Amino acid sequence: MPESHPPIELQGITLSELQKLIDERRLPPVDKWNPQRCGHSGMRIARDGTWYHQGTPIPRPEMVRLFATVLRRDPDGRHVLVTPVEKLDIEVETTPFRAIDMRVEGEGRGQRVGLVLDSGDAVILGPEHPLSIADSPGGPSPRVLVRHGLEAELTRPVYYEFAELALAQGSQGVWSDGVFFALEAPE
C-alpha cells in the first residue's frame, strides 16, 4: 500500500488550515491492533531521524512516511511496527520523530503553536500534544507527544525559536492552545 499523503508544510497556511489537514489524515488504527505474531523488524530509527533497515538507510521518504503510520509505543516502552496480522519491534535511539518547523499565531494565552515533523505529519501543541522536557544522556530533551505514546524531539533550531518566543514574552515558557508549557525540566 503506497503512502498517499504528501508531507505537511507550513508555508502559506494558517494554523486553522493546518488543523484541517491534520484532521483529514486517516491513519491506521494501530492502537486497536494486537496481533499474536511478533518478532524484530531489523529496523532502527537513529537519533538524527534516519530510518535504517538491516543497517542500511532507507532512501525513500515515502517509505519512511508509510512505516511511520504503523508505528506505536507499547505500554512497556517498546516501539513496534504493527499491522492487523504482525507486530515487529523497531529500535528507536531517542524519539521516532523530530519537530523540524514551527508556526506561531496569536499572543499570550490565545497563542497557538503548530509543529511539522520529519515524518511529514504535524501537530498543534496543546492538551492532546503536550510539550515536556525529558532527561537524556545528552542533557534535557524537549519533546512533544504525537500519538500512541510516540514523541517528537524538538530540533535545535525549533527549540531556539521556542526560547526566543518565551524571551520576547518575558516568560520561562510558551502558551499554546490554552496550556502553558515550561521550557525547563521541573526540579
**What is the tens place of the pLDDT at every residue in 71-99?**
999 999 999 999 999 999 999 999 999 99
pTM of the predicted model as reported, rounded to 2 decimal places? 0.86
> What proportion of the chain, given as a percentage, has pLDDT over 90?
65
Nearest to 86 by CA among 38, 32, 53: 38
Q: How confident is the model at residue 1 (pLDDT cuts 50, 70, 90)?
A: very low
Q: How far apart are CA 63 and CA 151, in angstroms?
A: 20
Structural domains in the chain?
Answer: 29-92 (3.10.540.10), 97-182 (2.30.270.10)
Which three three-digit cell numbers place residue 84? 492487523
Nearest to 144 by CA among 106, 113, 120: 113
Residue carrying C-alpha cell 494554523: 15
